[in-house]
Structure 1
């Protein structure tokens, strides 16, 4: 099963765009600002979460509409996925599977999504939170239940921090129960992240050093991975956490360490080109882990244009051998000459799409 049709309604600058007949390679070409990345962002909303831009729902509806927007995708004429916002309920996301309302977490059961965008070039220079979100997205593509566990962790952590910040000392019995929930969800989240890093490391270990720099990954947990041990740590740290008015240990403090193998140098200290190459290597290795029985989408925004011909050819070859459906953007066709004959190609102009091949 694969995505065959995508429809955007009042989505940013796309008033009514329909892309039929998607293939393994799908190219969106057009000038900067034409709306190519908007299509990729719409696709990214077919997974739980806030999409590749992490935009607020209120920022997405296009001008001239009723204040709502819709994204609809068809999988081999058998499954219809939809998400958006209704005009009468602004800011509240609606998800449908085959016309029936469903929680956003259900989207992960139907599609595995991954993406690489220019904004991610700063991943190794940003704070640990950005790398945790990156890890969670990679985990979610392999383990749909991760979204529910992460949501439970976030809710329990938010409530514990609220109680720690109150003037009156919280009831220990209530904290025991809350910390038990936090530890249960947190351990599942941490264990899933650890599994993902281990699997990625195995996949990366067999890759050559060229043409993409090979990264060495290490998962650095922010607390115990065992639920009982994590609950005990939370209980023992209450006095310290109350002084700080926040929880200082747990999976919300996890870190992903990345080192360039060829130089034994931290990714943050590598050149921007080397960092980009390592991100591509991680993205390709992750795509190779996707479950072939669950449709996978790989969204690559302005990636090919920044690669030399050797690396572009290597990228296309790796993608061709994978199981994921690939969506790429670019300002012109020549960088994609090697795959143009086998790709579905659309020209995007001012929020309108035209099928070229």
Structure 2
């Protein structure tokens, strides 16, 4: 089992203080727009490495007008262990993480928990720029391979240094050798991890009985200027050969930071970007569920799912199918919606939380199933 049993927020977004005690069932969160529903699932997303589901700066998470530091504490049931987690930040400071009362790097969160999310800002994933799709793929990759974050950080650090040399028009190759070697070593790992993840997701979709359309996934533009992007030596040669063009541009034009996630609606043979809004949302849900099924086998427990307005663009039949698949998976899914009727098909299979507003502060009240 992987689930939160306790969640406490202090001066986080609109919540001055919120305390929740929950079990492993799905959590249905409802309330008016602006009440603070998304803030709750954003808090859960902060129990994973990175900047959370809205990629906010740490100061943006502080409740106004108090402008005090924010803090999230949680009790996590992970496989056969119980972990106490806290993450917090003071104004203008970076966030800190403590696991079982020990200061820990953010990457340690990925080793004890797997958290996936789908929020409305991702609904345009297939029709906007490649950066969002890379982020989506890397989040899925992190769920299988937590060390992927270290490879990405190593690559980006070396690339920033190399870009600085390119902008300064440094032509002496000796300045580039070590940086390009670091980029190549990390880049080969990134490519391998992403490729493995795509294979996992394709397999999980192919082997599943689901009410949602499946997507054939691929890694597009993966070469980094070479034919074997998984080979560090080949990437080193490619970075060196591309250096003149990179000098002219003032930045690296090739490499895994330029890769893209390709997706095709399998049954129709239509690119995801050309599908209807409803089909695009259904494809995203299908990928999240496939990620969950694969992780259940790989990690030993289904991930925690965060679905912001997950019922949006879904008809009643497909909404019920989504809830059935979440319950079959056995995932603790934190879901938001404007009213309890959106979760009616869940009944007593879920626990219900109403979020309200009391003179500018969000309130949370646990309710019975409608």
**Structure 1 residue 206: Cα displacement:** 3.3
Per the alignment, residue 310 of structure 1 pairs with 317
Residue 345 of structure 1 pairs with residue 346 of structure 2: no
Per the alignment, residue 78 of structure 1 pairs with 82
CA distance, structure 2, for counterparts of residue 323 and residue 247 of structure 1: 44
CA distance, structure 2, for counterparts of residue 13 and residue 222 of structure 1: 45
**Structure 1 residue 324: Cα displacement:** 2.6
Per the alignment, residue 113 of structure 2 pairs with 111
Q: Deviations over 1:284-317 (max 9, x none)?
A: 1111111443672100111125322211221112
Task: Provide TM-score, normalisation by structure 2.
Answer: 0.91
CA distance, structure 2, for counterparts of residue 311 and residue 283 of structure 1: 15
CA distance, structure 2, for counterparts of residue 66 and residue 255 of structure 1: 39
CA distance, structure 1, for counterparts of residue 347 and residue 355 of structure 2: 16
Per the alignment, residue 285 of structure 2 pairs with 280
Per the alignment, residue 335 of structure 1 pairs with 342
Are 1:23 and 1:343, in contact at CA under 8 Å, matched by a contact in 2? Answer: no
CA distance, structure 2, for counterparts of residue 319 and residue 268 of structure 1: 26
Residue 53 of structure 1 pairs with residue 57 of structure 2: no
Residue 51 of structure 1: SS of its match in structure 2? coil
Are 1:160 and 1:178, in contact at CA under 8 Å, matched by a contact in 2? Answer: yes
Per the alignment, residue 205 of structure 2 pairs with 204
Q: Deviations over 1:161-191 (max 9, x none)?
A: 111111342x423311111111111111111
1:231-246 matches, cutoff 5 A: 231-246=236-251
Per the alignment, residue 234 of structure 2 pairs with 229
Per the alignment, residue 68 of structure 1 pairs with 69
Flag structure 1 segments of 5+ consecutive residues without an equivalent: none
CA distance, structure 2, for counterparts of residue 259 and residue 187 of structure 1: 25
Are 2:33 and 2:338, in contact at CA under 8 Å, matched by a contact in 1? Answer: yes
**Structure 1 residue 278: Cα displacement:** 0.7
Q: How many aligned positions are there?
A: 353
Flag structure 2 segments of 5+ consecutive residues without an equivalent: none
Residue 137 of structure 1 pairs with residue 145 of structure 2: no
Per the alignment, residue 272 of structure 2 pairs with 267
Residue 263 of structure 2: SS of its match in structure 1? strand
Task: Provide TM-score, normalisation by structure 1.
Answer: 0.94
**Structure 1 residue 29: Cα displacement:** 1.0
**Structure 1 residue 16: Cα displacement:** 0.4
Question: Structure 2 residue aligned with 1:150, among 149, 152, 169?
Answer: 152
Question: Which 4+ residue blocks in structure 1 deviate beyond 3 angstroms?
Answer: 291-295
Residue 349 of structure 1: SS of its match in structure 2? strand
**Structure 1 residue 66: Cα displacement:** 4.3
Are 1:95 and 1:103, in contact at CA under 8 Å, matched by a contact in 2? Answer: yes
**Structure 1 residue 263: Cα displacement:** 2.1
Residue 24 of structure 1: SS of its match in structure 2? coil
**Structure 1 residue 266: Cα displacement:** 1.1
Question: Structure 2 residue aligned with 1:124, among 126, 135, 156?
Answer: 126
CA distance, structure 2, for counterparts of residue 267 and residue 306 of structure 1: 16
CA distance, structure 2, for counterparts of residue 340 and residue 56 of structure 1: 37
**Structure 1 residue 232: Cα displacement:** 1.1
CA distance, structure 2, for counterparts of residue 275 and residue 107 of structure 1: 30
CA distance, structure 1, for counterparts of residue 345 and residue 125 of structure 2: 29
Per the alignment, residue 216 of structure 1 pairs with 216
Q: Deviations over 1:3-58 (max 9, x none)?
A: 11111100010000011123221111111111010011111111111111111111
CA distance, structure 1, for counterparts of residue 75 and residue 66 of structure 2: 23
Q: Deviations over 1:229-280 (max 9, x none)?
A: 1111111111111111111111001111111122211111111111111111
Question: Structure 1 residue aligned with 2:306, among 274, 288, 299?
Answer: 299
Residue 355 of structure 1 pairs with residue 366 of structure 2: yes
Q: How has the CA–CA distance of structure 1 residues 101 and 65 changed in structure 2, closer, same or farther, with 3 Å as cutoff?
A: farther
